[in-house]
Amino acid sequence: MSWPELRKECLILEDEAVLALNKPAGISVTGERHDTDIVEMAAAQGETLYPVHRIDKVTSGLVLLAKELPAHGVLTRQFNKRTAQKAYLAVTASTGLPDRGVIDLPLSVGRKNRVRIAAPRESIRRAGDTWLVDEQDVLAGKNYPSVTEFATVARTDSHTVLALRPITGRRHQIRVHLAWIGHPIVGDPLFDRTGAFERTHLHSWRLTLDAPWRPNGLLELEAEPGADFWQPVAESVTADPRQLLSSASELMADTTPTAH
């Protein structure tokens, strides 16, 4: 897909300061080695864009890019201060997750730059609906406190649909957190070796940020998942995807982001 085609087909919002896209899975945002990315594609057509945040190449959904540096600074500071409100959707290749839960597991970077939990797998324990490790079990070296909250949107005999709120924003956070508690995301090349599905079923769904230049002072963005996202549960979940999104919205509205 060319940049003009991608820009037109995936556009969610554009104003004088920002561009928001509903990115397909399989396209990088920026900085991927040996790969063409959105920023590079735009630059080749004479358009300069500054990524406000990143989502993985394998993840679909909402991507926000700034068209000017002042707006970029205003927005990225909110990610750094963890005041940006983010929500994702995921389909896990598992069952048994509670209606709501918290994954409070520190991350570290291991061999070959792979993100992992900064503790032995066997030390992860579940206390109620929270997964955590005791402080004495955290491995020596640099680690990063990381928290993901989730709510269950739908269940089938073999899969679970989740709405997730990453309180921290670490690289691969949602993917690693779910995999290490035994609930990997369907199609994740890091953790799902079955090859049963063509894409990773993780979607950047919602983003809310302060935006002083907007009439109401806010950017409230939503990217609806495509039919390919729902494929693992399409035959088992009777609700229309829009009904599932409505349920996910209610579940997210019922929780207040935890301060960490």
Please identify every residue annotated as catalytic: 56
Distance CA 150, CA 148 (A): 7
Let me know: does 74 contact 85? Beta carbons within 8 Å. no
Distance CA 115, CA 48 (A): 31
CB count, 10 Å around CB of 4?
Answer: 12
Residue type, 185: I
CB count, 10 Å around CB of 69?
Answer: 10
244, two tokens: 């599932």
Let me know: does 162 contact 124? Beta carbons within 8 Å. no
Secondary structure (DSSP) of 41-78:
HHHHTT---EESS---TT-EEEEEEESSHHHHHHHHHH
* C-alpha dihedral sign at 62, 18, 148, 242: negative
Residue 246 phi, psi dihedral angles, 5° rounding: -65, -40
Distance CA 128, CA 126 (A): 6
